[in-house]
Amino acid sequence: MRNFVQPGDNLTVTAEAAANAGDGVRLGDIFGIASGDAAIGDPL
């Protein structure tokens, strides 16, 4: 991962919108940073 800063937990969700690595992603009450590129419906 090019944006790695420190160890942490990863949560795999289904992308509701296209995302690139490093983008902020909000899914309901969850906010995180995309660790890779994803199209709509891809695991993120």
pLDDT in tens, 9-28: 888 999 999 999 989 999 88
Sign of CA dihedral 3, 24, 7, 44: negative
Q: What is the pLDDT of residue 19?
A: 94
What pTM did the predictor assign? Answer: 0.70
pLDDT value of residue 1 = 59
Angle at 20 (CA atoms; ends 4, 38), nearest 5 degrees: 110
Is position 21 within any domain?
yes
Share of the chain above pLDDT 70, in %: 98
Is residue 5 predicted with pLDDT exceeding 70? yes
Per-residue model confidence (pLDDT) at position 27: 87
Q: Could you tell me which residues come within 8 angstroms of residue 26 by beta carbon, excluding any fewer than 6 positions away? A: none
In this prediction, residues 19-44 reach a mean pLDDT of: 91
Can you give the residue range of the structural domain that contains 25?
A: 1-33
Structurally, the chain folds into a number of domains equal to 1
Rounded Cα gap, residues 37 and 34, in angstroms? 7
Q: Is residue 19 part of a domain?
A: yes
Instruction: Output the six-digit token pair for 11.
Output: 């949560």
Q: Name residue 39's amino acid.
A: A
